[in-house]
Structure 1
Amino acid sequence: MEGKLLELKKVSKIFYKSGILNRRIVKAVDEVSFDIGSEPEVVALVGESGCGKTTICRLILGLETLTSGDIIYKGKSISKWLRENPKDYRKEVQIIFQDPYETFNPFYRVDRLLSVAVKKFGLAQDQSTTKKLIFESLEAVGLRPKELLGRYPHQLSGGERQRFMLARIYLIEPKLLVADEPVSMLDASLRAMFLDHLKEFKRIGISSLYITHDLNTANYIADRIIIIYAGKVVEKGPTEAVINDPLHPYTKDLITAIPIPDPKKRWKEKIEISKIKLSERINQKGCYYYNRCKYRMPKCETSFPPEFEVDGRKVSCFQYE
């Protein structure tokens, strides 16, 4: 595991849903493998709603149990981390959700939410140092401590809550931030602000797994992109290469379908991936994209392609055998 901060190794998650007549199996994540390097970087996990992105996020955080595979953090399985050193893991791997309000205790004022983190992770030894750290973290994201402290989460706007979560990252200084659709509820100016803080996190030594359905923000912020479709990783590589010269038919369709006449303006607008019904997205035996792919071959219907390496990238498509 040398040289890797985080590694997912053939990670799968199956959910069982009970129906009136039978029990239905939903394979939310299917043998997903990728890594985040030891040097700070931003990796974007890009896919449509329902493709398994949030499940991957929850698996990394230990909020869901693996069906198969393993997740390795700093050379050790996270199951071992959570069993032997849970507090250390929780400090080093932090999360920002799409709506941070869901993570707040509504009965705690926001200053207590920060002071609890200081105490839990041993960030300060006395009250004056605690106050200093809290003030500095809030000011780093453009919040005014004297106006914010003493308020309850419901008294903050959506933008203030998201900036508050950024302040918490500055305060705790984890090694890895998992950001699950963090800007989808923000307006353009706040979206840019949030992404710029991810760049600053990278500068100070914090890596980010940026989970999104928006190719534009992924293109802006990420060093590498992972494209996921129906729970399967179909392409991954350096952002510029994936965006400018996509290999997988799904990635190509995402980019070429953007209705912008001038290609130079392609990345100036928000780009979203359309939803696909569960009933039409899964072909259990073959490639999950078979029914939509214009490059499909007979064997694509019966066999899912392995990963092939092409010019430093990896793509799951039989065109590159």
Structure 2
Amino acid sequence: MPPATDAVLLDVRHLTRIFGHGAREVRAVDDVSFTLRRGEIASVVGESGSGKSTLARVLLRLIRPTAGRIVFAGQDVTRLSRPGELRAYWRQVQAVFQDPFSSFNQFFPVRRVLERSLRLEGRLEAGERDRRVRWALERVALNPSEVMGKFAHELSGGERQRIMIARALVVRPKLLIADEPTTMVDASSRATILNLLLDLRDEYGMAILFITHDVSLASYVSDTLLVMHQGKVVEQGEAGRVTAHPQHPYTRQLFADAFSLSKGRSVAT
């Protein structure tokens, strides 16, 4: 696994997102700080309800933070609100979510799904759009001639998820936020997606924030681990160190439970 570069791409400082007020206040993300370097894969792990997906949506600027700062490629993007500013941000930061079927417009064929993402790039010639769509599909090991005319219901779950990754890749982002991308696919597709994330890091220097409840998958794919519990990052560090020598009691329990369940099981099963 090649090392990430030293250049910090994402710098998150004291990020907080609160829902509700008073006695009903929920700190879904609570004073979270971390950095992500170019070419680095960092996994955010934790149980359901730990704040992982809310963190992803705040970083994507789909939800406003309550407090804290998000600095991306040297620019403070915490308060971006104008459509043009957000489009420019989303050209560089893309996401893949857990359910590829709900993310896939049922009325559009694959070609149109990917071409709609290219609207973030402004006007492109038809030939350039076609070239970019074909490149993205080939990059996720799909034959463009076979899948471009298909609709969501004609594809397997693994194919749909790879098309969602292609939709993100088509704009050539610097950062990919992958929120539980392997949860709803079979074992073979899970291994394919994990290896694809590694390839994107290795070949293009893409930074990836991989969000998962499965610590075995996180350990397999990551340079760095961040462990979330009740909205807080309770432990973070180099993946091998955190896996072998967890310091926080929650981390120790999380890993003990996960590896006792998966003993003798490969990462793809």
Q: TM-score, normalised by structure 2?
A: 0.89
The sequence identity of aligned pairs, in percent, is: 39
CA distance in 1, matches of 2:64, 2:259: 40
Of stretches 215-224 and 135-144 in structure 1, the one that deviates more from structure 2 is 135-144
Change (3 A) 1:134 1:259: closer
Match for 1:48: what amino acid? E
Match for 2:155: what amino acid? L
CA distance in 2, matches of 1:256, 1:114: 41
Counterpart secondary structure, 1:186:
coil
Match for 2:48: what amino acid? S
2:19 equivalent to 1:15? yes
Aligned residues between the structures: 262
Residue matched to 2:58: 59
Per-residue deviation, 1:180 = 0.3
- Per-residue deviation, residues 16-51 of structure 1 (Å, max 9, x unmatched): 17xxxx9611111111111101x3110000000011
Counterpart secondary structure, 2:27:
strand
8 Å contact from structure 1 (residues 216, 268) kept in 2: no
Q: Where does structure 1 differ by over 6 angstroms across 4 or more consecutive aligned residues? A: none
CA distance in 2, matches of 1:237, 1:248: 12
Match for 1:141: what amino acid? V
Per-residue deviation, 1:134 = 1.6
8 Å contact from structure 1 (residues 216, 267) kept in 2: no
Residue matched to 1:247: 247
**Unpaired segments ≥5 residues, structure 1:** 272-321
Counterpart secondary structure, 1:241:
helix
CA distance in 2, matches of 1:258, 1:266: 12
Per-residue deviation, 1:145 = 1.9
- Per-residue deviation, residues 275-314 of structure 1 (Å, max 9, x unmatched): xxxxxxxxxxxxxxxxxxxxxxxxxxxxxxxxxxxxxxxx
Residue matched to 1:87: 87
- Per-residue deviation, residues 128-183 of structure 1 (Å, max 9, x unmatched): 23222222221222222222122222332211110101222332210000000000
1:1-321 alignment runs, 5 A limit = 3-16=7-20, 24-37=24-37, 39-83=38-82, 85-122=85-122, 125-203=124-202, 204-258=204-258, 260=260, 265=263, 268=266
Change (3 A) 1:4 1:81: farther
Per-residue deviation, 1:227 = 0.6
8 Å contact from structure 1 (residues 96, 180) kept in 2: yes
Match for 1:268: what amino acid? S
Which one has more relative contact order, counting CA pairs under 8 Å at least 6 apart?
2
CA distance in 1, matches of 2:88, 2:212: 27
- Per-residue deviation, residues 211-262 of structure 1 (Å, max 9, x unmatched): 000011101000000011111111100000000111111111122345649x
**Unpaired segments ≥5 residues, structure 2:** 1-5
Per-residue deviation, 1:90 = 0.6
Change (3 A) 1:7 1:98: same
CA RMSD of aligned residues (A): 2.4
Of stretches 201-210 and 163-172 in structure 1, the one that deviates more from structure 2 is 163-172
Change (3 A) 1:24 1:250: same
CA distance in 1, matches of 2:259, 2:69: 40
8 Å contact from structure 1 (residues 45, 53) kept in 2: yes
Counterpart secondary structure, 1:55:
helix
